Amino acid sequence: MNQLKQIHAHTVITGLARFSYITSKLLAFSALSEHGDLYHADTIYSQIPVPNVFDFNSMIMGFLKNLESEKGLSVYTKMRRMGAEPNSHTFTVLVKACVGLSLLDQLYGQIIKFGHACDVHVTSSVISVYSKCKAMEFARRVFEESLDKNVVCWTSLITGYCGNGLVDDARYLFDKMPERNDVSYSAMVSGYVRNACFNQAIDLFRDFKCRTNVRLKESLLVSVLNACASVGAFEQGKWIHLYLDDHGFEYGLELATAGIDFYAKCGCIKDAQEIFNKMPLKDVTTWSAMIMGYAINGENDTGLELFAEMEKKGPKPNAVTFVGVLTACNHKNLVNEAWGLLGRMSKIYGIAPEIEHYGCMVDILARAGRVKEAEILIRSMAMEPDGAIWGSLLNGCLIHGHFELADKVGKLLIQLEPQHSGRYVLVSNMYAKMGNWEDVMRLRKMMNDREVVAIAAWSFIEIDGFVHKFVANDKSHSHSRNIYQTLSQLRKELESFSDANDSVLL
DNA sequence: TATTGGGAGA
C-alpha cells in the first residue's frame, strides 16, 4: 500500500492523474484489494473532479465490503446528483446495502428506470435481497418478470425459498429449472439441511452423484457431511471422507470442520481427532467443533484440556466455544467450574452470555439438584427465558423430586408452548410419578381439546449401510427379542452400578 | 468491477 501511495503521489506531481484510467486503477486497487486501504481510496476519490461510473462503483463496493452500507448508498446519491448514469455493476452491488424493504423497492424503481431489470447479475442480487427481507412474493415477481434468466437467478430464488422455510417450493423450482450446476445442487442440499430434511438432502446428493462424473465441489460435500452428521448416516459420510482422500483434497477449514463434526456426532471421536490433527490451519470454529465433539462423546476432560490449550495457543474462543466447554462441564457435573467459565467468558473475553449459555448453566444446576439456584438464574437473565430453559429446570426437578417447583414450572411451560407435545408428556409423567391421576387425565383432555398430537420419537442406527429404526414399545425388528434382552441386561448393570456409587457417596 | 452455495451451538 505504501508503494501505491507513492505511485499515487507521483501521478499527481507528473500530471498523469489527468488520465482517468490510471487514477481509476489506483482507486479500485485501494478500495478493493486485500492489501488496499479504503480511506486512501476515499482520498483519491475526493480528488477526482468528475469521477466515472467505474470510480463510483469501486467506492460503493469498497464501502460494502467494509460493512459501511450507508456510505455506499451516499456514494450513489452523490453519483446521481452529479448526473452520472449507474450501470448494471452499480445495482448488482448496491442492492446489498438495502437493509429494509422500502429502500429496496426504491432502488428497484431505479433499476427499472435505467433499464437493468433484465440483467442476470442484477436480477440474482435483487432476488437474493428480497428473500433476505422475507419478501418472497416480490422475489418471485422479479424472477418472473426478468426475460433473461440464467442458472444463477434460479439458484437465488431456490435459496430464498429454502431460507424462508418453503423447502417444497424450492424443490419444485429445482426440478423445473432448465440447467443445474454444482452451486444449484449445493443450494438445494444445504436448503434441505437448514430445514431439517436431512434424508432428502442425502437422497438428492446420491442422485447428483449418479448423474455426473465431474469432481465434486467442496461446498456440496460440506452440506452433505452436515446432513450425514445430523442423521448419523455413517457410511455416506465415510464415503465422502474416502472420496476426499482419493481425490487429493486439502483439509481446508470448512470441509475439515464439517468432517470433525460428522465423526464426532457419529461417535467416532478418534477419526474426528485425526482430522483435527491433520489440519494445517485451524480457526475458532474448528476448535469449537472438536471441543463439542469431546463433550458429546463423554470425553469431558479431554474437551476441557483442549480448551485450556486453545486459551494458550489457539484462536480467541467465542460464544459457541463456550457452549461446548459448558456442555463438557454438564456431563461431568462440574458446577463450580461452569460458574467460573461463565465468569471468564464475560470478564476475560468480553462475551455477553446468550440464552444458550444460560441454557447450559441452568441444565447443569438443575441436573445437580440445585434447582433453586437455577430458578434464580433464569429470573436474573436479561432476555426472556424460552421453553428449553424451563424444560431443563423441570427435568432437574423431576430427577431430584422437587415436585412443588416442578408443578409451577410445568404449568408455565405448557402456557408458554401450548402446541409442544413433549411438554405435556413430561408434566403428565410427573403427575403420574406423584400418583396424581386426576391431573394426568386433565392434561390428556387438554391435549385433546387443543389438538396437540404427541409425536413419537424414533431412533436410527446404521449398520453396514442399512438403517434400523426404533420407536418406544416397538417389536417389529427381526432381532426384537435379543434387543429387549440386551436392554434389560444393560438396565440391571446400570442399576447395580448406580447402587454401588450411591453407597460410596453415603 | 458484478450475481447463486459451503464449517461449530442448549
Question: What does the pLDDT look like over A476-494, one tens digit per residue?
Answer: 888 888 888 888 888 887 7
Q: Is residue A130 part of a domain?
A: no
Predicted pLDDT of residue A287: 97
Residue A157: CB atoms within 10 A of its CB come to: 28
Q: Is residue A345 part of a domain?
A: no
Distance, angstroms, CA A86 to C1' B1?
13
Q: Is residue A400 part of a domain?
A: yes
Nine-digit cell string for A473: 414399545
The residues that bridge with A470 in the sheet, in sequence order, are A459
Q: Is residue A496 part of a domain?
A: no
> Cell 418478470 identifies what position?
A145
**How far is A159 from A161, CA to CA, in rounded Å?**
6
Q: Is residue A272 part of a domain?
A: no
Predicted pLDDT of residue A9: 74
CA atoms lying within 13 Å on the CB side of residue A217:
12
Give the H/E segment covering residue A438.
Answer: helix A437-449
What pTM was estimated for this model as a whole? 0.84
Helix (H, G, I), strand (E, B), or coil: what is residue A466?
A: strand
Do A219 and A186 meet the contact criterion of CB atoms below 8 Å apart? yes
Predicted pLDDT of residue A25: 87
Do A205 and A224 meet the contact criterion of CB atoms below 8 Å apart? yes
Predicted pLDDT of residue A503: 47
CATH of residue A432: 1.25.40.10
Q: How many domains does chain A have?
A: 1
Residue A195: CB atoms within 10 A of its CB come to: 19
If you measure CA to C1', which residue is closest to nucleotide B6? A219
Distance, angstroms, CA A185 to C1' B5?
8
Q: Is residue A417 part of a domain?
A: yes
**How far is A103 from A109, CA to CA, in rounded Å?**
10
Q: Is residue A160 part of a domain?
A: no
Q: Is residue A478 part of a domain?
A: no
**Phi, psi torsion values for A486, nearest 5 degrees:** -60, -40
> Cell 464415503 identifies what position?
A239
Predicted pLDDT of residue A479: 85
Give residues 84-123 of chain A lying near strand B (Cβ < 7 A): 87-89, 92-93, 119-122
What lies within 8 Å, CB to CB, of A168 at 6+ separation is none
Predicted pLDDT of residue A499: 61
**How far is A235 from A468, CA to CA, in rounded Å?**
13
Predicted pLDDT of residue A505: 43
Ranges of residues in chain A with a pLDDT under 70 are 16-20, 465, 497-506
Nine-digit cell string for A263: 465423526
Which domain covers residue A398, as residue numbers?
Answer: 354-454
Distance, angstroms, CA A331 to C1' B10?
13
**How far is A185 from A172, CA to CA, in rounded Å?**
13
A359 touches strand B (CB under 7 A): yes
What lies within 8 Å, CB to CB, of A217 at 6+ separation is A182, A183, A186
Give residues 217-236 of chain A lying near strand B (Cβ < 7 A): 217-220, 222-223, 226, 229
Nine-digit cell string for A485: 434382552
Helix (H, G, I), strand (E, B), or coil: what is residue A463?
A: strand
Do A28 and A54 meet the contact criterion of CB atoms below 8 Å apart? yes
Nine-digit cell string for A390: 424451563
For residue A431, the one-letter residue type is: Y
From residue A352, alpha-carbon distances to A113, A150, A381, A389 in Å are 46, 44, 11, 18
**Quick one: DSSP state of residue A18?**
G
Helix (H, G, I), strand (E, B), or coil: what is residue A351?
A: coil
